[in-house]
Structure 1
Amino acid sequence: MPNWRVCKRHAYRAMMQIFSLKLAYTSSYVSGPVQLYGYVAVRDLLNPMQNYVFNHTRNNPLVVEYDGFIQMPGPKRGIRMQAPVLIEFNLKIKTGGEEEGDDQQVIDGVAIFSDRYFGHARVNTQRMDGDGGSVDIKFAFLEQASEATVQVGISEIEKGSCFSLCLAGSYVSPSYVSHGKIQLFDGVVSADASELRRTVVAVAQDGKLVVKLTLSQKGGLDICTIFPVEKHGSQAFIFKLGVATVEVMVPWSTMDIPKSRLRPNCFAHEFRASEGVEFD
Protein backbone atom coordinates (compact mmCIF):
# COMPACT_ATOMS: atom_id res chain seq x y z
CA MET A 1 0.00 0.00 0.00
CA PRO A 2 1.27 3.54 -0.67
CA ASN A 3 1.01 4.51 3.00
CA TRP A 4 3.93 2.75 4.70
CA ARG A 5 2.40 3.30 8.14
CA VAL A 6 -0.43 0.86 7.35
CA CYS A 7 1.54 -1.37 4.96
CA LYS A 8 -0.08 -4.78 4.47
CA ARG A 9 2.55 -6.08 2.06
CA HIS A 10 5.32 -6.55 4.60
CA ALA A 11 5.00 -8.29 7.97
CA TYR A 12 6.88 -8.20 11.26
CA ARG A 13 9.25 -11.14 11.58
CA ALA A 14 10.81 -13.27 14.30
CA MET A 15 14.14 -11.80 15.39
CA MET A 16 16.90 -12.31 17.95
CA GLN A 17 18.27 -9.48 20.06
CA ILE A 18 21.70 -9.86 21.67
CA PHE A 19 22.02 -7.53 24.65
CA SER A 20 25.53 -8.28 25.86
CA LEU A 21 28.57 -10.55 25.84
CA LYS A 22 30.57 -11.10 29.01
CA LEU A 23 33.86 -12.84 29.65
CA ALA A 24 32.70 -14.96 32.59
CA TYR A 25 36.03 -16.54 33.56
CA THR A 26 39.31 -17.83 32.15
CA SER A 27 41.13 -21.06 32.99
CA SER A 28 44.31 -19.19 33.96
CA TYR A 29 44.55 -16.52 36.63
CA VAL A 30 44.18 -12.98 35.30
CA SER A 31 45.10 -10.16 37.68
CA GLY A 32 43.71 -7.23 35.67
CA PRO A 33 42.17 -6.13 32.39
CA VAL A 34 42.81 -8.44 29.43
CA GLN A 35 43.35 -7.83 25.72
CA LEU A 36 40.68 -9.81 23.89
CA TYR A 37 40.60 -10.45 20.16
CA GLY A 38 38.88 -12.76 17.70
CA TYR A 39 35.25 -12.74 16.64
CA VAL A 40 31.68 -13.66 17.50
CA ALA A 41 29.51 -13.97 14.38
CA VAL A 42 25.90 -14.94 13.69
CA ARG A 43 24.58 -16.83 10.67
CA ASP A 44 20.88 -17.00 9.87
CA LEU A 45 18.97 -18.28 6.85
CA LEU A 46 18.07 -14.81 5.64
CA ASN A 47 21.75 -14.44 4.72
CA PRO A 48 24.17 -17.20 5.79
CA MET A 49 27.19 -14.88 5.59
CA GLN A 50 28.88 -13.98 8.89
CA ASN A 51 27.12 -11.14 10.71
CA TYR A 52 29.76 -9.93 13.19
CA VAL A 53 28.73 -9.05 16.72
CA PHE A 54 32.37 -8.71 17.81
CA ASN A 55 35.44 -8.63 15.55
CA HIS A 56 38.93 -7.51 16.64
CA THR A 57 42.32 -8.49 15.25
CA ARG A 58 45.38 -9.35 17.33
CA ASN A 59 46.91 -5.99 16.43
CA ASN A 60 43.77 -4.19 17.60
CA PRO A 61 42.49 -6.08 20.66
CA LEU A 62 39.70 -4.90 22.94
CA VAL A 63 40.66 -4.16 26.54
CA VAL A 64 38.12 -5.96 28.76
CA GLU A 65 37.93 -4.49 32.24
CA TYR A 66 37.25 -6.21 35.56
CA ASP A 67 33.49 -6.43 34.97
CA GLY A 68 34.14 -8.71 31.97
CA PHE A 69 31.70 -6.98 29.60
CA ILE A 70 32.71 -7.12 25.93
CA GLN A 71 31.82 -4.02 23.95
CA MET A 72 29.85 -5.06 20.86
CA PRO A 73 30.04 -2.96 17.67
CA GLY A 74 27.51 -5.25 15.93
CA PRO A 75 25.48 -6.87 14.60
CA LYS A 76 25.53 -5.04 11.28
CA ARG A 77 21.97 -6.09 10.45
CA GLY A 78 19.04 -7.67 12.26
CA ILE A 79 19.17 -11.37 13.17
CA ARG A 80 16.24 -13.30 11.70
CA MET A 81 15.07 -16.17 13.91
CA GLN A 82 12.30 -17.66 11.79
CA ALA A 83 14.53 -20.74 11.87
CA PRO A 84 17.47 -21.65 14.15
CA VAL A 85 20.51 -19.38 14.03
CA LEU A 86 24.14 -20.39 14.44
CA ILE A 87 26.64 -18.33 16.45
CA GLU A 88 30.37 -18.81 16.04
CA PHE A 89 32.77 -18.05 18.90
CA ASN A 90 36.52 -17.68 18.37
CA LEU A 91 38.07 -15.57 21.13
CA LYS A 92 41.64 -15.33 22.41
CA ILE A 93 43.49 -13.36 25.08
CA LYS A 94 46.71 -11.66 24.02
CA THR A 95 49.38 -12.64 26.53
CA GLY A 96 52.26 -10.50 25.29
CA GLY A 97 54.15 -13.15 23.34
CA GLU A 98 55.55 -12.64 19.87
CA GLU A 99 53.30 -15.15 18.09
CA GLU A 100 49.58 -15.83 18.11
CA GLY A 101 50.35 -19.38 19.23
CA ASP A 102 51.55 -17.95 22.56
CA ASP A 103 48.11 -16.48 23.31
CA GLN A 104 45.38 -18.10 25.39
CA GLN A 105 42.41 -19.57 23.53
CA VAL A 106 39.24 -18.79 25.48
CA ILE A 107 36.60 -20.39 23.27
CA ASP A 108 36.49 -21.80 19.74
CA GLY A 109 33.23 -23.38 18.66
CA VAL A 110 29.66 -22.92 17.50
CA ALA A 111 26.23 -22.99 19.13
CA ILE A 112 22.72 -23.20 17.68
CA PHE A 113 19.87 -21.13 19.11
CA SER A 114 16.31 -22.09 18.22
CA ASP A 115 13.09 -20.12 18.53
CA ARG A 116 11.41 -23.29 19.82
CA TYR A 117 13.27 -23.27 23.13
CA PHE A 118 12.89 -19.65 24.25
CA GLY A 119 9.69 -17.81 25.15
CA HIS A 120 8.79 -14.55 23.48
CA ALA A 121 10.45 -11.43 24.91
CA ARG A 122 12.18 -13.24 27.78
CA VAL A 123 15.72 -12.06 28.42
CA ASN A 124 17.89 -15.18 28.69
CA THR A 125 21.51 -15.63 29.74
CA GLN A 126 23.38 -18.68 28.51
CA ARG A 127 26.96 -19.64 29.30
CA MET A 128 29.17 -20.88 26.47
CA ASP A 129 32.08 -22.97 27.77
CA GLY A 130 35.39 -23.25 25.94
CA ASP A 131 38.68 -24.96 26.65
CA GLY A 132 40.19 -21.82 28.18
CA GLY A 133 37.19 -20.02 29.66
CA SER A 134 33.53 -19.12 29.33
CA VAL A 135 31.45 -16.39 27.72
CA ASP A 136 27.96 -15.37 28.86
CA ILE A 137 25.56 -14.24 26.13
CA LYS A 138 22.39 -12.35 27.07
CA PHE A 139 19.66 -12.38 24.42
CA ALA A 140 15.93 -12.47 23.71
CA PHE A 141 13.71 -14.04 21.06
CA LEU A 142 11.01 -11.77 19.63
CA GLU A 143 8.15 -13.44 17.77
CA GLN A 144 7.10 -10.35 15.77
CA ALA A 145 9.68 -7.60 15.52
CA SER A 146 11.18 -4.87 13.35
CA GLU A 147 14.81 -3.92 12.75
CA ALA A 148 15.84 -0.49 14.03
CA THR A 149 19.17 1.00 12.94
CA VAL A 150 20.14 3.64 15.51
CA GLN A 151 22.39 6.29 13.92
CA VAL A 152 24.00 8.92 16.13
CA GLY A 153 25.44 12.14 14.69
CA ILE A 154 27.23 15.03 16.41
CA SER A 155 27.24 18.64 15.18
CA GLU A 156 27.72 22.19 16.41
CA ILE A 157 30.42 21.21 18.89
CA GLU A 158 32.08 24.12 20.65
CA LYS A 159 35.65 24.52 19.52
CA GLY A 160 38.06 22.80 21.85
CA SER A 161 35.31 21.13 23.86
CA CYS A 162 35.45 17.49 24.98
CA PHE A 163 32.78 15.65 26.95
CA SER A 164 31.73 12.16 28.00
CA LEU A 165 28.55 10.86 26.39
CA CYS A 166 26.53 7.70 27.06
CA LEU A 167 23.63 6.48 24.92
CA ALA A 168 21.63 3.46 26.04
CA GLY A 169 18.55 1.80 24.59
CA SER A 170 15.78 -0.09 26.37
CA TYR A 171 12.20 -1.18 25.72
CA VAL A 172 8.70 -0.21 26.72
CA SER A 173 6.44 -3.16 25.94
CA PRO A 174 3.60 -5.01 27.71
CA SER A 175 4.99 -8.34 26.46
CA TYR A 176 8.45 -8.10 28.05
CA VAL A 177 8.90 -10.25 31.12
CA SER A 178 12.16 -8.51 31.96
CA HIS A 179 13.96 -5.65 30.29
CA GLY A 180 17.38 -5.70 28.73
CA LYS A 181 19.66 -2.72 28.25
CA ILE A 182 21.37 -2.06 24.91
CA GLN A 183 24.57 -0.03 25.00
CA LEU A 184 24.50 2.27 21.96
CA PHE A 185 27.54 4.41 22.73
CA ASP A 186 29.73 5.11 25.75
CA GLY A 187 32.83 7.22 25.39
CA VAL A 188 34.45 10.60 25.04
CA VAL A 189 33.37 12.94 22.23
CA SER A 190 35.85 15.50 20.89
CA ALA A 191 35.45 18.49 18.60
CA ASP A 192 36.32 16.52 15.44
CA ALA A 193 33.48 13.99 15.92
CA SER A 194 30.69 13.80 13.35
CA GLU A 195 29.09 10.35 13.34
CA LEU A 196 29.64 8.09 16.33
CA ARG A 197 28.42 4.72 15.08
CA ARG A 198 25.39 2.73 13.96
CA THR A 199 23.76 0.10 16.13
CA VAL A 200 21.14 -2.40 14.96
CA VAL A 201 18.50 -3.54 17.45
CA ALA A 202 15.28 -5.56 17.26
CA VAL A 203 12.06 -4.11 18.67
CA ALA A 204 8.88 -6.13 19.29
CA GLN A 205 5.73 -5.25 17.36
CA ASP A 206 3.96 -3.97 20.48
CA GLY A 207 7.05 -2.23 21.84
CA LYS A 208 8.78 1.12 21.76
CA LEU A 209 12.49 1.89 21.70
CA VAL A 210 13.61 4.21 24.49
CA VAL A 211 16.89 6.06 23.92
CA LYS A 212 18.45 7.69 26.97
CA LEU A 213 21.28 10.21 26.65
CA THR A 214 23.57 10.91 29.59
CA LEU A 215 26.04 13.79 29.35
CA SER A 216 28.74 13.64 32.03
CA GLN A 217 29.69 17.22 32.66
CA LYS A 218 29.44 19.49 35.63
CA GLY A 219 26.00 18.81 37.07
CA GLY A 220 25.27 16.02 34.55
CA LEU A 221 22.34 15.78 32.16
CA ASP A 222 19.85 12.98 31.37
CA ILE A 223 17.44 13.11 28.42
CA CYS A 224 15.09 10.38 27.13
CA THR A 225 13.15 10.02 23.90
CA ILE A 226 10.80 7.27 22.70
CA PHE A 227 10.62 5.82 19.18
CA PRO A 228 7.42 3.82 18.43
CA VAL A 229 8.04 0.68 16.37
CA GLU A 230 7.37 0.98 12.62
CA LYS A 231 7.66 -1.24 9.54
CA HIS A 232 9.24 1.34 7.24
CA GLY A 233 10.51 4.89 7.19
CA SER A 234 12.63 6.66 9.76
CA GLN A 235 12.30 8.82 12.85
CA ALA A 236 14.69 11.42 14.22
CA PHE A 237 15.18 13.34 17.43
CA ILE A 238 17.61 16.19 18.13
CA PHE A 239 19.19 16.78 21.55
CA LYS A 240 20.36 20.36 22.11
CA LEU A 241 23.08 20.07 24.76
CA GLY A 242 24.65 23.52 24.70
CA VAL A 243 28.18 22.27 24.01
CA ALA A 244 26.95 20.21 21.06
CA THR A 245 23.91 18.97 19.16
CA VAL A 246 23.25 15.22 19.07
CA GLU A 247 20.90 13.84 16.43
CA VAL A 248 19.53 10.31 16.78
CA MET A 249 17.94 8.86 13.64
CA VAL A 250 16.19 5.48 13.57
CA PRO A 251 15.32 3.90 10.18
CA TRP A 252 13.01 0.84 10.39
CA SER A 253 12.76 -2.36 8.36
CA THR A 254 10.96 -5.71 8.67
CA MET A 255 13.70 -7.40 6.58
CA ASP A 256 10.86 -8.96 4.62
CA ILE A 257 11.06 -9.62 0.86
CA PRO A 258 7.77 -11.26 -0.18
CA LYS A 259 7.69 -12.77 -3.68
CA SER A 260 11.38 -12.07 -4.06
CA ARG A 261 12.81 -12.36 -7.56
CA LEU A 262 16.14 -13.38 -6.04
CA ARG A 263 17.20 -16.96 -6.74
CA PRO A 264 17.51 -19.09 -4.75
CA ASN A 265 14.60 -17.94 -2.58
CA CYS A 266 16.13 -17.62 0.87
CA PHE A 267 12.72 -17.42 2.53
CA ALA A 268 11.72 -20.78 1.03
CA HIS A 269 14.85 -22.33 2.56
CA GLU A 270 14.10 -20.60 5.85
CA PHE A 271 10.57 -21.99 5.94
CA ARG A 272 11.63 -25.53 5.05
CA ALA A 273 14.38 -25.47 7.68
CA SER A 274 11.90 -24.35 10.35
CA GLU A 275 9.71 -27.33 9.42
CA GLY A 276 12.64 -29.74 9.76
CA VAL A 277 12.92 -30.39 6.01
CA GLU A 278 16.42 -31.04 4.70
CA PHE A 279 17.53 -29.38 1.47
CA ASP A 280 20.69 -29.13 -0.63
Structure 2
Amino acid sequence: MAMDPSTQATVTGLEFIVSTIPARVACLESMMMTVPYDSCMPNWRVCKRHAYRTMMQIFSLKLAYTSSYVGGPVQLYGYVAVRDLLNPMRNYVFNRTRNDPLVVEHDGFIQMSGPKRGIRMQAPVLIEFNLKIKTGGEEEGDDQQVIDGVAIFGDRISGHARVNTQRMDGDGGSVDIKFAVLERASEATVQVGISEIEKGSCLSLCLAGSYTSPSYVSHGKIQLFDGVITAEASELSRAVVAVARDSKLVVKLKLSQKGGLDIHRCTIFPVEKHGSQSFIFNLGVATVEVMVTWSTMDIPQSLLGPNCFAHEFMASEGVEYVDE
Protein backbone atom coordinates (compact mmCIF):
# COMPACT_ATOMS: atom_id res chain seq x y z
CA MET A 1 0.00 0.00 0.00
CA ALA A 2 1.31 3.44 -0.88
CA MET A 3 1.52 6.05 1.87
CA ASP A 4 2.06 9.75 1.89
CA PRO A 5 5.54 10.28 3.40
CA SER A 6 4.11 12.77 5.90
CA THR A 7 2.34 9.94 7.70
CA GLN A 8 5.43 7.82 8.21
CA ALA A 9 7.58 7.71 11.32
CA THR A 10 10.10 5.50 13.07
CA VAL A 11 8.33 3.87 16.01
CA THR A 12 10.44 1.00 17.29
CA GLY A 13 8.23 0.24 20.31
CA LEU A 14 5.02 0.19 18.29
CA GLU A 15 6.54 -1.93 15.54
CA PHE A 16 7.80 -4.42 18.13
CA ILE A 17 4.43 -4.69 19.83
CA VAL A 18 2.48 -5.12 16.58
CA SER A 19 4.90 -7.74 15.28
CA THR A 20 4.81 -9.85 18.45
CA ILE A 21 1.19 -9.62 19.62
CA PRO A 22 -1.52 -11.66 17.88
CA ALA A 23 -4.42 -9.85 16.22
CA ARG A 24 -6.72 -9.64 19.22
CA VAL A 25 -9.47 -7.13 19.90
CA ALA A 26 -8.66 -4.23 22.24
CA CYS A 27 -8.87 -5.33 25.88
CA LEU A 28 -9.64 -1.81 27.10
CA GLU A 29 -13.13 -0.37 27.15
CA SER A 30 -14.34 3.20 27.01
CA MET A 31 -15.32 5.05 30.21
CA MET A 32 -12.50 3.47 32.25
CA MET A 33 -11.83 6.69 34.18
CA THR A 34 -15.44 7.88 34.44
CA VAL A 35 -15.91 7.13 38.13
CA PRO A 36 -14.05 9.78 40.16
CA TYR A 37 -11.29 8.76 42.54
CA ASP A 38 -11.26 9.76 46.20
CA SER A 39 -7.91 11.37 45.46
CA CYS A 40 -9.30 13.74 42.81
CA MET A 41 -8.11 17.14 43.99
CA PRO A 42 -9.69 19.44 44.98
CA ASN A 43 -12.76 17.52 43.72
CA TRP A 44 -13.76 15.51 40.66
CA ARG A 45 -15.32 18.44 38.80
CA VAL A 46 -12.07 20.41 38.88
CA CYS A 47 -9.80 17.39 39.19
CA LYS A 48 -6.10 18.21 38.89
CA ARG A 49 -4.84 14.71 39.53
CA HIS A 50 -5.98 13.28 36.20
CA ALA A 51 -4.83 14.90 32.99
CA TYR A 52 -6.22 15.51 29.53
CA ARG A 53 -4.20 13.71 26.86
CA THR A 54 -3.51 14.10 23.14
CA MET A 55 -6.03 12.04 21.17
CA MET A 56 -6.95 11.27 17.57
CA GLN A 57 -10.48 11.78 16.28
CA ILE A 58 -11.48 9.97 13.08
CA PHE A 59 -14.41 11.77 11.48
CA SER A 60 -15.04 9.62 8.44
CA LEU A 61 -13.83 6.95 6.03
CA LYS A 62 -14.62 7.20 2.33
CA LEU A 63 -14.13 4.80 -0.55
CA ALA A 64 -12.51 7.26 -2.95
CA TYR A 65 -12.30 4.99 -5.99
CA THR A 66 -11.80 1.42 -7.14
CA SER A 67 -9.39 0.40 -9.86
CA SER A 68 -11.88 -1.82 -11.67
CA TYR A 69 -15.55 -1.56 -12.51
CA VAL A 70 -17.98 -3.07 -10.02
CA GLY A 71 -21.37 -3.85 -11.49
CA GLY A 72 -24.28 -3.16 -9.16
CA PRO A 73 -24.02 -1.91 -5.57
CA VAL A 74 -20.60 -1.96 -3.90
CA GLN A 75 -20.58 -4.51 -1.06
CA LEU A 76 -17.61 -3.72 1.16
CA TYR A 77 -16.23 -5.91 3.92
CA GLY A 78 -13.05 -6.30 5.96
CA TYR A 79 -11.73 -4.00 8.64
CA VAL A 80 -10.03 -0.75 9.53
CA ALA A 81 -8.40 -0.87 12.98
CA VAL A 82 -6.29 1.47 15.09
CA ARG A 83 -3.43 0.43 17.37
CA ASP A 84 -1.95 2.84 19.90
CA LEU A 85 0.73 2.39 22.54
CA LEU A 86 -1.78 2.50 25.38
CA ASN A 87 -3.04 -0.89 24.18
CA PRO A 88 -1.85 -2.11 20.76
CA MET A 89 -4.64 -4.62 20.23
CA ARG A 90 -6.99 -3.81 17.35
CA ASN A 91 -9.45 -1.01 18.09
CA TYR A 92 -11.88 -1.44 15.20
CA VAL A 93 -13.26 1.58 13.38
CA PHE A 94 -14.91 -0.58 10.71
CA ASN A 95 -15.39 -4.35 10.84
CA ARG A 96 -17.67 -6.36 8.53
CA THR A 97 -17.61 -10.01 7.48
CA ARG A 98 -18.14 -11.30 3.95
CA ASN A 99 -21.57 -12.55 5.00
CA ASP A 100 -22.55 -9.09 6.28
CA PRO A 101 -21.01 -6.54 3.89
CA LEU A 102 -21.74 -2.82 3.91
CA VAL A 103 -23.55 -1.52 0.85
CA VAL A 104 -21.68 1.69 0.03
CA GLU A 105 -23.87 4.52 -1.24
CA HIS A 106 -23.02 6.79 -4.17
CA ASP A 107 -21.22 9.28 -1.90
CA GLY A 108 -18.68 6.59 -1.02
CA PHE A 109 -18.85 7.08 2.75
CA ILE A 110 -18.14 4.01 4.86
CA GLN A 111 -20.38 3.72 7.89
CA MET A 112 -18.07 3.38 10.88
CA SER A 113 -18.80 1.12 13.85
CA GLY A 114 -16.08 2.40 16.18
CA PRO A 115 -13.71 3.08 17.72
CA LYS A 116 -14.48 1.00 20.79
CA ARG A 117 -12.54 3.41 23.01
CA GLY A 118 -10.64 6.67 22.67
CA ILE A 119 -7.45 6.75 20.57
CA ARG A 120 -4.56 8.10 22.61
CA MET A 121 -1.64 9.72 20.79
CA GLN A 122 1.12 9.90 23.37
CA ALA A 123 3.10 8.46 20.45
CA PRO A 124 2.29 7.73 16.80
CA VAL A 125 -0.58 5.35 16.10
CA LEU A 126 -0.80 2.61 13.50
CA ILE A 127 -3.92 2.12 11.37
CA GLU A 128 -4.51 -1.17 9.56
CA PHE A 129 -6.59 -1.35 6.38
CA ASN A 130 -7.89 -4.62 4.93
CA LEU A 131 -10.91 -3.99 2.73
CA LYS A 132 -12.45 -6.07 -0.05
CA ILE A 133 -15.42 -5.74 -2.40
CA LYS A 134 -17.66 -8.77 -2.62
CA THR A 135 -18.22 -9.88 -6.19
CA GLY A 136 -20.45 -12.53 -7.71
CA GLY A 137 -18.04 -15.35 -6.95
CA GLU A 138 -18.63 -18.02 -4.34
CA GLU A 139 -15.25 -17.76 -2.64
CA GLU A 140 -13.41 -14.88 -0.95
CA GLY A 141 -10.58 -15.40 -3.41
CA ASP A 142 -12.90 -14.20 -6.18
CA ASP A 143 -13.42 -10.83 -4.49
CA GLN A 144 -11.64 -7.57 -5.28
CA GLN A 145 -8.99 -6.44 -2.79
CA VAL A 146 -9.25 -2.67 -2.37
CA ILE A 147 -6.51 -2.08 0.15
CA ASP A 148 -4.34 -4.20 2.44
CA GLY A 149 -1.65 -2.48 4.48
CA VAL A 150 -0.80 -0.17 7.35
CA ALA A 151 -0.10 3.51 7.86
CA ILE A 152 1.60 5.21 10.80
CA PHE A 153 0.24 8.58 11.85
CA GLY A 154 2.66 10.68 13.88
CA ASP A 155 1.50 12.65 16.88
CA ARG A 156 2.93 15.77 15.23
CA ILE A 157 1.42 15.18 11.80
CA SER A 158 -0.96 18.09 12.27
CA GLY A 159 -1.58 21.18 14.36
CA HIS A 160 -4.10 21.09 17.17
CA ALA A 161 -7.70 20.46 16.02
CA ARG A 162 -6.85 20.88 12.33
CA VAL A 163 -9.06 18.61 10.23
CA ASN A 164 -7.02 16.64 7.68
CA THR A 165 -7.94 14.27 4.86
CA GLN A 166 -5.34 11.63 4.00
CA ARG A 167 -5.70 9.36 0.98
CA MET A 168 -4.56 5.77 1.42
CA ASP A 169 -3.80 4.07 -1.91
CA GLY A 170 -4.09 0.31 -2.28
CA ASP A 171 -3.62 -2.02 -5.23
CA GLY A 172 -7.34 -2.03 -6.00
CA GLY A 173 -8.51 1.39 -4.88
CA SER A 174 -8.16 4.22 -2.40
CA VAL A 175 -9.69 5.16 0.94
CA ASP A 176 -9.85 8.70 2.34
CA ILE A 177 -9.57 9.10 6.10
CA LYS A 178 -10.59 12.41 7.68
CA PHE A 179 -9.11 12.99 11.12
CA ALA A 180 -7.78 15.52 13.63
CA VAL A 181 -5.20 15.45 16.42
CA LEU A 182 -6.63 17.01 19.58
CA GLU A 183 -4.30 18.17 22.33
CA ARG A 184 -5.43 17.99 25.96
CA ALA A 185 -8.57 16.03 25.15
CA SER A 186 -11.06 13.88 27.01
CA GLU A 187 -12.90 10.76 25.87
CA ALA A 188 -16.67 11.19 25.43
CA THR A 189 -18.94 8.16 25.09
CA VAL A 190 -22.19 9.34 23.48
CA GLN A 191 -25.21 7.10 24.01
CA VAL A 192 -28.50 7.78 22.25
CA GLY A 193 -31.79 6.36 23.46
CA ILE A 194 -35.37 6.83 22.30
CA SER A 195 -38.76 6.28 23.95
CA GLU A 196 -42.42 7.30 23.79
CA ILE A 197 -42.70 6.72 20.06
CA GLU A 198 -46.21 6.84 18.68
CA LYS A 199 -47.21 3.48 17.22
CA GLY A 200 -47.30 3.44 13.46
CA SER A 201 -44.97 6.42 13.21
CA CYS A 202 -42.60 6.45 10.26
CA LEU A 203 -39.62 8.32 11.68
CA SER A 204 -36.00 8.70 10.70
CA LEU A 205 -33.41 10.25 12.98
CA CYS A 206 -30.07 11.85 12.23
CA LEU A 207 -27.71 12.83 15.06
CA ALA A 208 -24.34 14.44 14.40
CA GLY A 209 -21.60 15.75 16.66
CA SER A 210 -19.24 18.66 16.09
CA TYR A 211 -17.11 21.09 18.10
CA THR A 212 -17.47 24.70 19.10
CA SER A 213 -14.48 26.60 20.45
CA PRO A 214 -13.43 30.22 21.01
CA SER A 215 -9.93 29.25 19.83
CA TYR A 216 -10.61 27.75 16.39
CA VAL A 217 -13.23 26.76 13.84
CA SER A 218 -13.60 23.01 13.34
CA HIS A 219 -15.19 21.63 10.18
CA GLY A 220 -15.24 18.02 11.33
CA LYS A 221 -18.58 16.25 11.74
CA ILE A 222 -19.11 13.01 13.64
CA GLN A 223 -22.03 10.80 12.61
CA LEU A 224 -23.65 9.53 15.81
CA PHE A 225 -26.77 7.92 14.32
CA ASP A 226 -28.58 7.97 10.99
CA GLY A 227 -31.48 5.63 10.36
CA VAL A 228 -35.11 4.68 10.77
CA ILE A 229 -36.47 4.29 14.31
CA THR A 230 -39.30 2.09 15.51
CA ALA A 231 -41.47 1.78 18.60
CA GLU A 232 -39.38 -1.20 19.74
CA ALA A 233 -36.12 0.79 19.77
CA SER A 234 -34.48 1.78 23.06
CA GLU A 235 -30.72 2.40 22.85
CA LEU A 236 -30.00 3.40 19.27
CA SER A 237 -26.27 3.85 19.26
CA ARG A 238 -23.06 4.33 21.19
CA ALA A 239 -20.16 6.34 19.80
CA VAL A 240 -16.78 7.21 21.31
CA VAL A 241 -15.34 10.60 20.38
CA ALA A 242 -12.48 12.83 21.51
CA VAL A 243 -13.19 16.37 22.70
CA ALA A 244 -10.47 18.93 23.40
CA ARG A 245 -10.44 20.89 26.63
CA ASP A 246 -10.70 24.21 24.77
CA SER A 247 -13.93 23.20 23.00
CA LYS A 248 -17.44 21.89 23.65
CA LEU A 249 -19.29 18.99 22.09
CA VAL A 250 -22.26 20.06 19.96
CA VAL A 251 -24.98 17.49 19.24
CA LYS A 252 -27.43 18.34 16.45
CA LEU A 253 -30.64 16.39 15.87
CA LYS A 254 -32.90 16.10 12.84
CA LEU A 255 -36.10 14.06 13.09
CA SER A 256 -37.97 13.44 9.84
CA GLN A 257 -41.53 12.13 9.70
CA LYS A 258 -43.57 11.05 6.72
CA GLY A 259 -45.94 13.82 5.66
CA GLY A 260 -44.63 16.25 8.28
CA LEU A 261 -41.97 18.90 8.72
CA ASP A 262 -38.46 18.03 9.85
CA ILE A 263 -37.68 18.80 13.50
CA HIS A 264 -34.27 20.32 14.25
CA ARG A 265 -32.75 20.60 17.73
CA CYS A 266 -29.30 21.25 19.20
CA THR A 267 -27.58 20.98 22.58
CA ILE A 268 -24.04 21.58 23.87
CA PHE A 269 -21.99 19.56 26.37
CA PRO A 270 -18.99 21.18 28.14
CA VAL A 271 -15.89 19.01 28.54
CA GLU A 272 -15.34 17.12 31.80
CA LYS A 273 -12.75 14.63 33.06
CA HIS A 274 -15.18 12.37 34.92
CA GLY A 275 -18.90 11.82 35.31
CA SER A 276 -21.73 12.10 32.80
CA GLN A 277 -24.25 14.59 31.43
CA SER A 278 -27.57 14.02 29.70
CA PHE A 279 -30.10 16.01 27.73
CA ILE A 280 -33.65 15.03 26.76
CA PHE A 281 -35.28 16.19 23.53
CA ASN A 282 -39.07 16.11 23.96
CA LEU A 283 -40.24 16.11 20.35
CA GLY A 284 -43.91 15.21 20.69
CA VAL A 285 -43.83 12.17 18.42
CA ALA A 286 -40.84 10.76 20.32
CA THR A 287 -38.44 11.45 23.17
CA VAL A 288 -34.71 11.27 22.47
CA GLU A 289 -32.15 11.18 25.28
CA VAL A 290 -28.47 11.88 24.69
CA MET A 291 -26.06 10.93 27.47
CA VAL A 292 -22.37 11.83 27.35
CA THR A 293 -20.01 9.99 29.69
CA TRP A 294 -16.56 11.48 30.21
CA SER A 295 -13.25 9.80 30.91
CA THR A 296 -9.62 10.87 30.79
CA MET A 297 -7.15 8.71 28.87
CA ASP A 298 -4.42 8.71 31.54
CA ILE A 299 -5.36 5.15 32.48
CA PRO A 300 -3.13 3.83 35.30
CA GLN A 301 -1.03 0.73 34.86
CA SER A 302 -3.11 -1.09 37.46
CA LEU A 303 -6.12 -0.95 35.12
CA LEU A 304 -4.17 -2.01 32.03
CA GLY A 305 -3.33 -5.41 33.47
CA PRO A 306 -0.85 -8.02 32.19
CA ASN A 307 -2.84 -8.74 29.00
CA CYS A 308 -2.56 -5.18 27.72
CA PHE A 309 0.31 -3.02 26.55
CA ALA A 310 2.40 -2.58 29.69
CA HIS A 311 3.51 -6.20 30.07
CA GLU A 312 4.68 -6.78 26.49
CA PHE A 313 6.37 -3.41 26.05
CA MET A 314 8.11 -3.40 29.43
CA ALA A 315 9.28 -6.96 28.84
CA SER A 316 10.84 -5.86 25.55
CA GLU A 317 12.70 -3.12 27.41
CA GLY A 318 13.87 -5.49 30.17
CA VAL A 319 11.71 -3.80 32.82
CA GLU A 320 9.81 -5.84 35.39
CA TYR A 321 6.02 -5.38 35.31
CA VAL A 322 4.73 -3.95 38.59
CA ASP A 323 0.99 -3.67 39.26
CA GLU A 324 0.60 -0.28 40.92
Q: Which TM-score band applies after superposition, normalised by the shorter structure? A: over 0.9
> Is 1:202 the counterpart of 2:242 in the alignment?
yes
In the TM superposition, 1:78-227 aligns within 5 A as 78-217=118-257, 218-227=260-269
Residue 22 (structure 2) aligns with? none
Equivalenced residue count is 274
Aligned to 1:233, which of 275, 280, 300? 275
> Is 1:74 the counterpart of 2:105 in the alignment?
no
Per-residue CA deviations over 1:86-130 (Å, capped at 9, x if unaligned) read 000000000121000000000000000011221111000000000
CA–CA distance in structure 2, aligned partners of residues 62 and 39 of structure 1: 11
TM-score, with length taken from structure 1: 0.92
Would the alpha carbon gap of residues 269 and 177 (structure 1) be closer, same or farther in structure 2, given more than 3 Å must change?
Answer: farther
CA–CA distance in structure 2, aligned partners of residues 57 and 240 of structure 1: 38
What's the CA shift for 1:160? Answer: 2.5
More strand by share: 1
Residue 291 (structure 2) aligns with? 249
Structure 2: stretches of 5+ with no match in the other structure: 1-40, 319-324
AA paired with 2:102?
L
3-state SS of 1:110 partner = strand
CA–CA distance in structure 1, aligned partners of residues 128 and 303 of structure 2: 30
Root-mean-square deviation (CA, aligned residues, Å) is 2.0
Per-residue CA deviations over 1:159-185 (Å, capped at 9, x if unaligned) read 222301000001001333542010100
Aligned residues of 1:12 and 1:146 also touching (Cα < 8 A): yes
CA–CA distance in structure 2, aligned partners of residues 279 and 17 of structure 1: 30
Structure 1: stretches of 5+ with no match in the other structure: 273-277
3-state SS of 1:50 partner = strand
Residue 28 (structure 2) aligns with? none
Aligned residues of 1:32 and 1:65 also touching (Cα < 8 A): no
TM-score, with length taken from structure 2: 0.80
AA paired with 1:106?
V
AA paired with 1:36?
L
